[in-house]
Structure 1
C-alpha cells in the first residue's frame, strides 16, 4: 500500500508494508527538483535514517532494476547503457 501527496516543494510517496510476516517500517520518499530522499525509522535507535540520491543516481537506479550483473554508465540523454 502507498500514499502520494503533493507538497509545495516536493512530491511525497509513503510505502507501507502490509504483506510480510515481519512488517518493515514505512518508507517515505521525498522527490524534490534536484534530489530524492528516502527515509525510514530505525526501531532499534528510534531515529529516522535518511539516504539522499541525486537525480543522476535515481536515473541509474531505475536503469539498474532492469539490467543483469555488470558495471554500466548511461549515455547522457539517450537512456542507452554501455558496459
Structure 2
C-alpha cells in the first residue's frame, strides 16, 4: 500500500509494507525540484535515516531497475 501527498515544495510518497511478517518500517520518499530523499526509521539506531539522491542518480536508478547485471553509463540523445 502507498499514499501520495502533494505538499507546497514536494511530492511525498509513503510506502507501507503489508506483506508477511516481519514487516519493514514505512518508507517515505520526498521528491523536490532538485533532489529526492528516502527516509525510513531504523530501530537499531532508534532514529530516522535519510538518503538524498540527485536527479541524475534517480535517473540512473530508474534505468538500473530494468537492466541486467553490468556496468552502464547513460548518455543523452545526441551525445
User: If the TM-score is normalised by the length of the shorter chain, which range does it land in?
Assistant: over 0.9
Which consecutive unaligned segments of at least 5 residues does structure 1 have?
79-83
Is residue 4 from structure 1 mapped to residue 13 from structure 2 by the alignment? no
Root mean square deviation, CA, Å: 0.7
2:70 counterpart residue number: 70
Is residue 39 from structure 1 mapped to residue 51 from structure 2 by the alignment? no
Q: TM-score, normalised by structure 2?
A: 0.94
How far, CA to CA, are the matches of 1:20 and 1:52 in structure 2?
Answer: 29
Q: TM-score, normalised by structure 1?
A: 0.89
Q: Within 5 Å, give how 1:23-34 maps onto structure 2.
A: 23-34=23-34
How far, CA to CA, are the matches of 2:43 and 2:23 in structure 1?
Answer: 12
Which consecutive unaligned segments of at least 5 residues does structure 2 have?
none
Displacement of 1:19 in angstroms is 1.0
Which deviations, in whole Å up to 9, do the C-alpha atoms of 1:44-75 show, x marking residues without a partner?
12110001000000000000001011110101
- The list of structure 1 runs, each at least 4 consecutive aligned residues, that deviate by more than 6 angstroms after superposition, is none
